[in-house]
Structure 1
Amino acid sequence: MTEKFYPANARARDPSVAGGGAPAAKTRGNGSHVVVIGAGIAGLTAAYRLQQAGMRVTVLEAAGMVGGRMGDRRSGEIVFNSGARLIYPFGRVFNRLIADLALGDALIPLRNLSARCVTPRGDHLIELMPTARSLMTPGLPMGERLALIAHGVRMRLQRGRVDPDWAVSALDVDPEADRLTLADYIRGEIGPHALASLVDPVFRATRSFNAETLSSLFYRTTVPHLVGEDTVHTLRGGMGFVCQTLAGQLDVRTGARVASVEHRREAGVLRVAVTLADGGMLAADHVVCAVEGSLAGALIRTPQTAEREMLAQVRYNALGVVHYGFAQPLPALMQFASRDIASRISTFQQMPAAPASGRPLTQLYCQLTPEAVEEVRRRGCTDDIDTLLRDELRARIPDFDRHVVAVVNQWIPRKLPVFAPGYGERLRAFWHWQEDPARASERPVVYCGDWTSQALLTGACASGERAARIVLDRAQIQAKRTDS
């Protein structure tokens, strides 16, 4: 696939686009030097907060553009996202960042999002933010309808006790939350029909997860903040707008692939040598590692046991999507497929052309089921996923081949971190290890990213701010030791 990328180091855009100019971050400080590896939302948030606090910050990004899985892509006349498609309103840290950047007017509300769930028994409505209408789901036994009401009340009451940006916060409510799979939790709380008709289709279609592979942490920290709500957001200017704005205020070096991170003691002071793939090297007082956790282990030389054991547990799911440019107008439509339908497509969406928004063609979004993702892996056809979908699409849309004018195959090998049963307890212990003041003198690397927080961009953002706070605390401790 040949892609045209949006600007990597774009400065903050014209104020008229965002509805207000983004205030400049504080002048680059003369304090400790921090290298941030990874220019996704986690790394850029950490870098921005550190620079605000007076640190001298350098951001290294292996790709040719910033944003990671919160970005925009264009291939010919087809535009699409690099990962994240929606912003949930409950991210306190992300909302604070938006306010600091004066980007509030860039948030575009999307209300009452729903999809038609296709099943062998007929279609029914699925709401992404559940309301009382979920009780009308066909085939739901009366006992499960009553259980669903009680469950919704319990979830709503737990809103103040769980943080949607920190999956492990569910452990404070119920330590068993990390041991139960999501499938077992929903069966016990509501019933098997609710799992099959409501929960499982949403997780497969929006996150490419199967409920029996996840712990209940994600569900139990996000649903309390979704019940009774009706609005999510996207961004004017594309999902990469926030990352581009942040990068415009930071020293970001794209195309700078890191080969290794090595700790060295110089004159009794522990520093970090960051070696690039091209042989270049940067010396730093602190490093924030904001790359995917499954890649971080290859960068850090001589990791401590806590680091090595944590990084060995990180797993991501993959995602395959085919985007079609269509010459014929089609009405807006979004469908999810239940697990028992014979389809390789979990999410099917028709998006009418919107030239003013940069989408000149009608587009079809076809996201693979988790099983089809595994099929693509087995066949090794990540560059031509569309060959698996053509027959199904021909059956859906008359004269399909005649109207297709562009095709983009998108393969995301690391889409979202998988919080499998047991992962949450390990992650909570890892954060305690990172935040231990003893790390200030023995370990100048701090980790952040969605794998450390929540499988959401708002969680990744929150982890970046938390990582920045750890670095600042460590620097303060080091300064006091030096003065004494």
Structure 2
Amino acid sequence: MSQTHSGTDATGAPVNAPEHVIVIGGGISGLAAAHRLAGAGVRVTLLEASSRLGGKLYADEIAGVPVDLGAESLLARRPEATGLAREVGLGDDLEPPAVLGAALWTRGKLRPMPKGHVMGVPGDLGPLASSGVLSAAGLARLPLDHVLPRTDIGDDVAVGAFVAARLGHEVVDRLVEPLLGGVYAGNAYEISLRAAVPQLFAAMREGRSLIEAARGIQRRAAASAGGGPVFNGIRGGVGRLPLAVAEACRALGVTIETDTAVRELRRTPHGWQVVLDGRALAADAVVLAAPAPVAARLLAAESPAAAAELGGVEYASMALVTMAYRRRDMTRLPYSSGFLVPPVDGRTIKASTFSGRKWGWLGEAGGDTFVLRTSVGRHGDEADLAWDDTDLVRLSREDLEAAVGLRAAPVAARVTRWDAGLPQYPVGHLDKVARIREQVAKLPGLALCGAVYEGVGIPACIASGQRAAADILPGIVAAGS
């Protein structure tokens, strides 16, 4: 194959760049990689095993109202997601959520979400003490952080264990756990502090107390935000983003095939062979943007060590129950964006979002219809997912009645199941990622990206795809670099 692009390596030596790259996986990471490569003039083929692009970003409708049935917001303080949205023509549709505040449904009632925390770790004890989230015994435990010695946390530690040792288990169980669970659908006592809250980990490595570290992070975040929103949505749904990226890719000449599962991945003297059902495609390079189990299977022959590491990644399953109500039936609903539910309280739902209030565009689009949703399931707590869709709707309604007094029946309901939807980041996860990348670096023309590696959020996934493009093609720079 002729090589039509060139660049330099880290030493400045000239290297050839690929003419044809195959991207395996059509989630936002793979689409971001394809978009960046095609924009640099590379011929790209993107293969997606399912019938739909976008992965966990999925916009559809309920009762004629457009909604997100997957992720619904973008972290605005990272540039990758909002930057890509603007690149593909969605800049004017970026919209922050309404500033309404959220709540915790715990200890028998809705309680205001304490302000001034970093993923549940308080930087100010006042709001936490007045919120009612903690019992008297839990409140009495808080001041110990000021007198505990500032200890070395080593290379990594579980968030829950570390915080509980300093502030008590109630802070973890009723505040850290639901907040972390909203991001990772995981267990705070297993999730890596270094991977999930890296700023806090770095501050603790510097020898600060936990509260002092959280307070400093809060101050720096407020100063750097410049008054801008923390999160953004997209009018019509965040699920529009991958579709817009796909259209931009097609305009750049990218060939996109859905319902196309990759069976094997083989090295050849000239690059790579991607084996499909009944045919094989040749490529100079491959971007593997598939979930860990699929990546493990495809790498088993060419990199058994990387495959073994990937095969050990655990995933959480969850379901989203989206319901549409008559707006006139929602007059008693608290005026907030929704609430989180600590698993320790033993409820079925882990959260509820009042989408029709949280997103201005959705309130306008709904008219007389009000949309809300609940989430069910997390890593290690997935028994409720065995219920069928009708029962998940029933159980969600029962919890909503207990939490906010909502007795009305929805006019429509949809259950979206995300089986093995979110990779887990236990203690040592980033070391695992480093070992995987070390092994893959031995295979020229191969790069990995996706939620497994450096973050499960949309900006992190986009950055991962752009990094993969940069690994494949010299001269490409990921957004924010």
For Structure 1 versus Structure 2, the TM-score category normalised by the shorter chain is 0.7 to 0.9
Give SS of 1:94's match.
helix
Alignment CA distance shift 1:281-1:361 (3 Å): farther
In the other structure, the counterpart of 2:365 is 357
In the other structure, the counterpart of 2:313 is 314
Give SS of 1:83's match.
coil
**Counterpart residue type for residue 272 of structure 1:** W
Does structure 1 residue 204 correspond to structure 2 residue 181? yes
Corresponding residue to 1:263 among 259, 262, 266: 266
Pairing 1:6-405 to 2, within 5 Å after superposition: 32-77=19-64, 79-101=66-88, 103-110=90-97, 112=99, 114-120=101-107, 122-126=109-113, 130=117, 132=124, 133-134=127-128, 136-138=130-132, 139=134, 141=139, 144=142, 147=145, 176-178=154-156, 180-221=157-198, 228-229=221-222, 231-250=230-249, 251-265=254-268, 269-277=269-277, 279-300=278-299, 302-329=301-328, 330=330, 331=333, 332-333=335-336, 334-352=338-356, 354=362, 356-357=364-365, 361-370=369-378, 374-377=382-385, 379=386, 381=388, 384-395=391-402, 400=407, 403-405=409-411
CA distance in 1 between partners of 2:398 and 2:99 (Å): 32
CA distance in 2 between partners of 1:450 and 1:79 (Å): 26
**Counterpart residue type for residue 248 of structure 2:** Q
**Counterpart residue type for residue 423 of structure 1:** H
**Counterpart residue type for residue 176 of structure 1:** G
Pairing 1:435-454 to 2, within 5 Å after superposition: 436=441, 438-440=442-444, 444-454=445-455
Alignment CA distance shift 1:380-1:85 (3 Å): same
Q: Is the 8 A contact 1:61 1:252 kept in 2?
A: no
Task: Tell me by how many angstroms 1:357 deviates.
Answer: 3.2
Task: Tell me by how many angstroms 1:273 deviates.
Answer: 2.1
Q: Is the 8 A contact 1:43 1:448 kept in 2?
A: yes
In the other structure, the counterpart of 2:204 is none
Task: Tell me by how many angstroms 1:236 deviates.
Answer: 2.2
Task: Tell me by how many angstroms 1:364 deviates.
Answer: 2.8
CA distance in 2 between partners of 1:274 and 1:149 (Å): 59
CA distance in 1 between partners of 2:395 and 2:23 (Å): 40
**Counterpart residue type for residue 381 of structure 1:** D
Task: Tell me by how many angstroms 1:367 deviates.
Answer: 1.1
In the other structure, the counterpart of 1:429 is 435
Task: Tell me by how many angstroms 1:408 deviates.
Answer: 0.8
Task: Tell me by how many angstroms 1:319 deviates.
Answer: 0.8
**Counterpart residue type for residue 263 of structure 2:** S
CA distance in 1 between partners of 2:170 and 2:131 (Å): 10
Give SS of 1:318's match.
strand
Q: Is the 8 A contact 1:77 1:325 kept in 2?
A: no
Q: CA RMSD in A?
A: 3.5
Task: Tell me by how many angstroms 1:336 deviates.
Answer: 1.6
Deviations 1:268-306 (A, max 9, x none): x332222334x2432111111111112222334613133
In the other structure, the counterpart of 2:226 is none
Alignment CA distance shift 1:470-1:253 (3 Å): same
Task: Tell me by how many angstroms 1:202 deviates.
Answer: 1.6
Alignment CA distance shift 1:457-1:189 (3 Å): farther
CA distance in 1 between partners of 2:414 and 2:31 (Å): 28
Give SS of 2:102's match.
strand
5+ residue gaps, structure 1, are 1-29, 155-173, 476-484
CA distance in 1 between partners of 2:75 and 2:115 (Å): 11
CA distance in 2 between partners of 1:222 and 1:296 (Å): 29
User: TM-score, structure 1 length as denominator?
Assistant: 0.75
Give SS of 1:451's match.
coil
**Counterpart residue type for residue 384 of structure 2:** V
Give SS of 2:422's match.
strand
Alignment CA distance shift 1:98-1:176 (3 Å): farther
Alignment CA distance shift 1:31-1:389 (3 Å): closer
Task: Tell me by how many angstroms 1:57 deviates.
Answer: 0.6
In the other structure, the counterpart of 1:157 is none
User: TM-score, structure 2 length as denominator?
Assistant: 0.75
Amino-acid identity (%): 22
CA distance in 1 between partners of 2:426 and 2:351 (Å): 23
Q: Is the 8 A contact 1:382 1:411 kept in 2?
A: no
Deviations 1:459-480 (A, max 9, x none): 11111111111111499xxxxx
CA distance in 2 between partners of 1:450 and 1:87 (Å): 14
Give SS of 1:439's match.
coil
In the other structure, the counterpart of 1:420 is 426
Give SS of 1:297's match.
helix
Deviations 1:181-200 (A, max 9, x none): 11112123433332133211
Q: Is the 8 A contact 2:377 2:384 kept in 1?
A: no
Give SS of 2:452's match.
helix
Task: Tell me by how many angstroms 1:58 deviates.
Answer: 1.1
CA distance in 1 between partners of 2:141 and 2:450 (Å): 40
Alignment CA distance shift 1:31-1:302 (3 Å): closer
CA distance in 1 between partners of 2:340 and 2:450 (Å): 28
CA distance in 2 between partners of 1:360 and 1:254 (Å): 39
Does structure 1 residue 460 correspond to structure 2 residue 461? yes
Task: Tell me by how many angstroms 1:326 deviates.
Answer: 1.4
Q: Is the 8 A contact 2:175 2:342 kept in 1?
A: no
Deviates most, 316-325 or 137-146: 137-146
**Counterpart residue type for residue 408 of structure 1:** R
CA distance in 1 between partners of 2:147 and 2:56 (Å): 35
5+ residue gaps, structure 2, are 1-16, 118-122, 201-213, 223-228, 477-481
Give SS of 2:97's match.
strand
In the other structure, the counterpart of 1:169 is none
In the other structure, the counterpart of 1:3 is none
